[in-house]
A and B are shown apart, each in its own frame.
Chain A
Amino acid sequence: NAGVMQNPRHLVRRRGQEARLRCSPMKGHSHVYWYRQLPEEGLKFMVYLQKENIIDESGMPKERFSAEFPKEGPSILRIQQVVRGDSAAYFCASSPGGLRYEAFFGQGTRLTVV
Chain B
Amino acid sequence: GQQLNQSPQSMFIQEGEDVSMNCTSSSIFNTWLWYKQDPGEGPVLLIALYKAGELTSNGRLTAQFGITRKDSFLNISASIPSDVGIYFCAPGSGNTGKLIFGQGTTLQVKP
Interface, chain A (partner B; CB < 8 A):
4, 6, 31, 33, 35, 41-45, 48, 55-56, 91, 93, 95, 97, 100-108
Contact = CB atoms under 8 A, between A and B. Distances in A.
Interface of B: 6, 30-31, 33, 35, 40-45, 48, 50, 88, 90, 92, 96-104
Given A42-B88, A43-B88, A102 B96 contact: no
What is the interface of chain A mostly: helix, strand, loop, or mixed? strand
A101 B99 contact: yes
Given A43-B43, A91-B42, A103 B97 contact: yes
16 contacts: A6-B42, A31-B97, A33-B99, A43-B43, A43-B90, A43-B101, A44-B101, A45-B98, A48-B97, A55-B96, A56-B98, A101-B30, A101-B31, A102-B45, A103-B97, A106-B42
Contacts of A56: 96, 98
A50 to B, nearest CB: 10
Nearest to A3: B42
A91 B101 CA distance: 13
Nearest to A45: B98
Contacts, number: 62
Given A41-B103, A102-B48, A97 B42 contact: no
A103 B99 contact: yes
Looking at A101, A102, A103, A107, which has the most chain B CB atoms within 10 Å of its CB? A101
A101 B97 contact: yes
Given A42-B88, A45-B98, A48-B98, A101 B33 contact: yes
A56 B45 CA distance: 22
A45 B99 contact: yes
B45 A104 contact: yes
